[in-house]
């Protein structure tokens, strides 16, 4: 039989209310008399205050307050507020029977009789300790997070509302972007962008991307309060409510200007190293080719000299020989340019006054460049001399001027300028510390794009048409400058002209030229000599022997240094002329052996290399390949003259 529980119908309304109050255990519901004495007590009050009804009824309710609250009169004030305002409500710490505290939510309502007189108070208390602790923990967590965010100075961390306005601001944001909180909170974050980015709608695109993809991350230029720019790494995350609606954005910005500059510097250094290695490799290849080509030209030029002497004076034949000789000499000029790029040409370093040199070649420049070109010079009143080969410097300036003219088909000004500059050791210019003179040739021509500029100094690279250039002009200037201890730098932009700058070291006092063969008129009265000719190239050796014999000298020939030493041990030799680049033992090494075994024996070093390998430096007189018979005769005459002078 189903049992149905019903309220006892005999209960009065007051009885039902009493049962209701007695059944409640989550709230302390009790009454106070007008003076605050407890007059009733429900199970809820007993549960979380710890007092049984007989322990607390008749006691003043102030015992639930802390000592300091009683001393401050809070119990009386709460009753007074309820009496005067019809209700008192607050939260605060209260005390249990065992002395422990709990956080209570308290409501006190006045109870009045039929005539309105105060008969007591109804007091409802709820234990909210768990909520209080949770709120306090949350508050501490939020406070800790706030302190954390505020203490970060390397990152700008702040929030935006859904429209992009700044709502808070940390110390990092203030340090990086220079705005104080009262200057920026409430402003739109787009003011951190450049004008061009704002016009392109970049701020709005960033927020749209964050909203659509859940995150926006990018690097770019941002603007500080003072207008200066910095390179920033930016992350924007959307903030959503419980329903997924966007309420704002969290924005983190880091100033990575230094990192980017370091990265760019590293990339620049890597590129410079790669370019240097590439140019060195090309230089070694070019120098080797030029050396071998010089040997071939040596055979051609030597043979043509001998043939010219031995053939009858027939205009038809001599014209052909002259043409062949001109072709060989053009080949010689080509190899000299290749050797200049490879930094293996003969340089006579001396003190050169740049303004005087340019003024001395003005007529040559004007004739070479044509009437459409205006030559301008800009030199300071005081300028130190440079250490350079005057002839090579003149050739380089002429070469740069011709390039400048070709870049201005409609004519225009070419400016020759110079300035003195003190270079420090840490400057990114590949120069040793010291004083330099920067000689520049500037045009207002077509200029070069980045790709062209990258390859401009490589040998055989040219933008001119077929037959209009060898592509060795700039590479020659580059090699010549490097060999002189300087640096060659091109700066150019498409449509804005080109500046070719050469840094050459300021000449030291008493700068002397390197030891080279002096070219003066050969003495026909030079006595016949017994000469030992040494060269590993059979063609070159044969021509050297023929030219020497044609000059009236007796010649022994050797195809290696070892064979040369064997000949020296059994024959009386007056002079040795030797190639340098030979296998097993070089010409310089052979010279050292000769100086040890046959001291005072004259030696001429015949080579296409002026810059000998490290450890091969020598003061021997050098004869540059390819040489003609008259050059050889001159070298022998110089040796005999020096020998005669030393005997006197």
**What residues does 498 pair with on adjacent strands?**
443, 492
What is the tens place of the pLDDT at every residue in 71-97? 999 999 999 999 999 999 999 999 999
Q: Which of 2-6, 47-51, 238-242, 269-273 is predicted with the least confidence, judged by mean pLDDT? A: 2-6
Contact 176, 230 (CB under 8 A): yes
Kindly list the distances between the CA atom of residue 11 and the CA atoms of 8, 54, 362, 455, in Å, as whole numbers in the listed order: 6, 25, 131, 109
Helix (H) or strand (E) holding 102: strand 101-112
Tokens of 277: 């290695």
Contact 254, 233 (CB under 8 A): yes
195 vs 242 pLDDT, higher one: 195
Contact 641, 523 (CB under 8 A): yes
Residue the block writes with tokens 């880091």: 254
**DSSP string covering 281-309, please?**
HHHHHHHHHHHHHHHHHHHHHHHHHHHHH
Contact 288, 337 (CB under 8 A): no
Contact 570, 648 (CB under 8 A): no
388 vs 453 pLDDT, higher one: 388
What mean pLDDT do residues 545-555 have?
89
Mean of all residue pLDDT scores within the chain:
81
What is the tens place of the pLDDT at every residue in 284-332? 655 556 666 667 777 787 778 777 777 777 777 777 777 787 777 777 6
Angle at 375 between CA 374 and CA 380, to 5 degrees: 140
Tokens of 341: 């790029």
Contact 418, 538 (CB under 8 A): no
Residue 149 gets the label, from left (phi > 0), alpha (psi -120 to 50) or beta, of: alpha
Q: Which of 193-207, 292-306, 401-415 is predicted with the least confidence, judged by mean pLDDT? A: 292-306
Q: Which of 325-329, 435-439, 526-530, 557-561 is predicted with the least confidence, judged by mean pLDDT? A: 325-329
Q: What is residue 2's predicted lDDT score, i.e. its pLDDT?
A: 42
Closest CA to 275 of 455, 429, 448: 455
Rounded CA separation 532/537 (Å): 15
Q: What is residue 464's predicted lDDT score, i.e. its pLDDT?
A: 56
Rounded CA separation 85/83 (Å): 6
136 vs 599 pLDDT, higher one: 599
Helix (H) or strand (E) holding 558: strand 554-558
What is the tens place of the pLDDT at every residue in 450-492? 777 776 766 555 655 444 455 556 767 776 777 777 888 888 8
Q: What is residue 63's predicted lDDT score, i.e. its pLDDT?
A: 92
């Amino acid at each position: 039989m189903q049992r149905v529980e019903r309220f006892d119908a005999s209960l009065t309304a007051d009885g039902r209310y009493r049962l209701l109050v007695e059944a409640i255990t989550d709230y302390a519901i009790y009454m106070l008399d007008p003076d605050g004495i407890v007059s009733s007590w429900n199970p809820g009050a007993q549960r979380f205050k710890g007092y049984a009804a007989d322990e607390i009824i008749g006691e003043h309710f102030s015992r639930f307050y802390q000592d300091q609250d009683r001393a401050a009169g809070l119990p009386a004030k709460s009753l007074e507020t309820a009496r005067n305002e019809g209700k008192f409500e607050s939260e605060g710490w209260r005390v249990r029977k065992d002395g422990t505290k709990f956080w209570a939510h308290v409501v006190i309502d006045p109870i009045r009789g039929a005539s309105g007189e105060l008969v007591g108070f109804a007091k409802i208390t709820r234990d909210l300790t768990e909520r209080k602790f949770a709120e306090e923990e949350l508050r501490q967590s939020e406070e800790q997070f706030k302190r954390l965010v505020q203490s970060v100075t390397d990152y700008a961390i702040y929030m935006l509302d859904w429209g992009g306005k700044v709502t808070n601001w940390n110390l990092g944001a203030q340090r990086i972007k220079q705005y104080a909180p009262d200057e920026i909170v409430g402003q739109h974050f787009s003011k951190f962008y450049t004008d061009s980015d704002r016009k392109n709608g970049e701020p709005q695109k960033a927020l749209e991307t964050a909203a659509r993809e859940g995150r926006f991350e990018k690097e770019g230029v941002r603007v500080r309060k003072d207008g200066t720019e910095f390179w920033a790494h930016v992350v924007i995350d959307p903030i959503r409510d419980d329903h997924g609606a966007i309420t704002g954005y969290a924005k983190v910005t880091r100033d990575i200007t230094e990192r980017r500059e370091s990265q760019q510097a590293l990339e620049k250094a890597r590129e410079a190293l790669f370019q240097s290695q590439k140019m060195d490799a090309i230089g070694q290849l070019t120098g080797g080719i030029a050396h071998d080509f010089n040997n071939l030209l040596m055979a051609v030029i030597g043979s043509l000299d001998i043939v010219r002497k031995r053939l009858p004076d027939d205009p038809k034949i001599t014209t052909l020989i002259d043409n062949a000789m001109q072709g060989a000499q053009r080949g010689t000029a080509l190899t000299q340019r290749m050797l200049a790029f490879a930094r293996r040409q003969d340089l006579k370093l001396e003190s050169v006054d740049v303004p005087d040199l340019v003024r001395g070649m003005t007529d040559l420049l004007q004739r070479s460049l044509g009437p459409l070109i205006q030559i301008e010079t800009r030199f300071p009143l005081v300028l130190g001399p440079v250490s350079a080969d005057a002839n090579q410097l003149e050739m380089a300036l002429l070469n740069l001027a011709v390039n400048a003219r070709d870049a201005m088909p409609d004519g225009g000004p070419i400016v020759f300028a110079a300035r003195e500059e003190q270079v420090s050791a840490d400057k990114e210019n590949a120069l040793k510390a010291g004083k330099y003179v920067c000689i520049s040739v500037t045009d207002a021509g077509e200029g070069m794009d980045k790709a062209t500029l990258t390859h401009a100094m490589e040998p055989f690279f040219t933008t001119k048409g077929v037959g209009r250039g060898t592509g060795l002009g700039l590479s020659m200037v580059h090699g010549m400058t490097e060999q002189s201890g300087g640096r060659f730098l091109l700066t150019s932009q498409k449509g804005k002209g080109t500046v070719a700058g050469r840094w050459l070291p300021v000449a030291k006092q008493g700068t002397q030229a390197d030891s080279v063969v002096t070219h003066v008129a050969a003495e026909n009265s030079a006595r016949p000599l017994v000469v030992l000719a040494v060269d590993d190239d059979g063609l070159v050796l044969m021509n050297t022997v023929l030219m020497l014999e044609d000059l009236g000298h007796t010649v022994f020939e050797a195809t290696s240094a070892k064979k040369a030493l064997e000949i020296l041990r059994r024959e009386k030799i007056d002079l040795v002329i030797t190639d340098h680049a030979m296998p097993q033992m070089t010409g310089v090494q052979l010279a050292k052996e000769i100086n040890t075994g046959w001291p005072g024996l004259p030696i001429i070093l015949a080579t296409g290399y002026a810059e000998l390998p490290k450890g091969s430096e020598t003061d021997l007189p050098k004869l540059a390949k390819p040489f003609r018979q008259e050059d050889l005769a001159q070298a022998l005459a110089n040796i005999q003259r020096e020998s005669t002078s030393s005997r006197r």
